[in-house]
Amino acid sequence: MQRKPVTVLASAKLNLALDVIGTLPNGYHDLDMVMQAITLYETLELRRSRYLNVRMPGSFVPVNEKNTAVKAALAFFHYTGLLAGVDITIRKRVPVRAGMAGGSADSAGVLVGMNELYGAKLSMSELCALGASIGADVPFALMGGTCRVKGVGDLLKPLPPCPACWFVVVMPSIGVSTPEAFQRYDRMGSPLHPDCARLEQAVRAGDLPALCAAAGNALEHCSGATETPAIRAILDGHGALASLMTGSGAAVFGIFGEQAGAEAAAEALRAQYKQVYLAQPDRGGARVLA
Q: Which domains can be identified in the chain, with CATH numbers?
A: 6-160+283-288 (3.30.230.10), 166-279 (3.30.70.890)
- pTM here is 0.96
The answer on pLDDT for 165 being more than 70 is: yes
**DSSP 8-state symbol, 142:** H
Per-residue model confidence (pLDDT) at position 1: 61
Percent share of the chain, pLDDT over 70: 99
Q: Are 100 and 13 in contact (CB under 8 A)?
A: yes
Cα–Cα dist 75/134, whole Å: 8
Cα–Cα dist 47/5, whole Å: 5
Residue 195 appears among annotated catalytic residues: no
Q: How confident is the model at residue 178 (pLDDT cuts 50, 70, 90)?
A: confident
Q: Are 282 and 167 in contact (CB under 8 A)?
A: no
Per-residue model confidence (pLDDT) at position 223: 86
Cα–Cα dist 288/116, whole Å: 8
Per-residue model confidence (pLDDT) at position 175: 87
Peptide bond into 250 cis (omega under 30): yes
Cα–Cα dist 229/231, whole Å: 6
Q: Give the model confidence (pLDDT) of 88-126 as tens digits.
A: 999 999 999 999 999 999 999 999 999 999 999 999 999
Quickly list H helices, the chain. 68-80, 102-117, 124-132, 138-143, 178-188, 196-205, 208-214, 228-237, 259-270
Query: What average pLDDT does this structure show over 67-87?
Result: 97
Q: How confident is the model at residue 131 (pLDDT cuts 50, 70, 90)?
A: very high
Average predicted confidence (pLDDT) for the chain:
95
Q: How confident is the model at residue 200 (pLDDT cuts 50, 70, 90)?
A: very high
Tell me which of 13, 32, 71, 106 is the catalytic residue.
Answer: 13
The answer on pLDDT for 3 being more than 90 is: no
Query: What average pLDDT does this structure show over 132-147?
Result: 96
Residue 282 appears among annotated catalytic residues: no
Tell me which of 19, 32, 106, 137 is the catalytic residue.
Answer: 137
Q: Give the model confidence (pLDDT) of 204-213 as tens digits.
A: 999 999 999 9
